[in-house]
Amino acid sequence: MTRPPGTHLSPDEIDSWLSGTLAREWQQHLDQCQSCLERARAERDIVDQISALPRLGPAAGFADHVMAAVAVPDPFAIRSLQATRRRLFATRRSLAVAASLTLLLLGSMAGSVAWSLAHQETIASLGNWLLSESGQFAWLSLRGLASNLIEQPWYSSIRSLLENPIRLAVGSALASAVYFGGVLVLRRLLALPTQQVAHAGI
């Protein structure tokens, strides 16, 4: 590789010179070029100064001190119970709103229980009506499915096949033979050795 005239060493080539792996022709350029030689020497001074620096490490117990000062929030608790209590009893208005909501909730629950106890026959009749309607809906769905199946063009041929025991036996034997033949062919295909393609790695 011939170096074009007037070019200087790149940072990678200076790193190669620092590690002692610089090519011979680039070493000749470095010996002849004062600018590249000054840059290389400056880089070597920087590397020497960095190498002379003492290695610093954290003091003993540094990680424990840092983790003790870190407050990790609970991701599942949006608001703590104490903060909610402070906000609840902060003003009379917030306390009145909370009491109103509590009374409304308790009143609606008590009213629901009282209505259920007073109208047990209505609830029982409603449950019986829902049960009968669901049973009727299931029966109608089953009848619709059966009628749709009967109207298919292939239903008559299957019905005639099922009514004749000899045809049914022959059809079952043919279906079994096809199934087992397919299983044997699949096993044969899986048992074949895999052939490597020539020059596949090229």
* Cβ contact 22:30 at 8 Å: yes
Using pLDDT thresholds of 50, 70 and 90, give the confidence band for residue 192.
Answer: low
Report the first-to-last Cα separation within the chain, whole angstroms: 29
- For residue 46, give the nearest of 14, 79, 89 by alpha carbon: 14
| pLDDT (0 to 100) of residue 195 | 53
Q: Which sequence spans correspond to the domains of the chain?
A: 11-52, 121-151, 152-192
Its pTM stands at 0.28
* Cβ contact 30:37 at 8 Å: yes
Give one word for 201, left, alpha or beta, with left for phi > 0 and alpha for psi -120 to 50.
alpha
Q: Look at residue 1 and tell me whether its pLDDT is greater than 80.
A: no
| pLDDT (0 to 100) of residue 125 | 87
Q: Look at residue 198 and tell me whether its pLDDT is greater than 50.
A: no
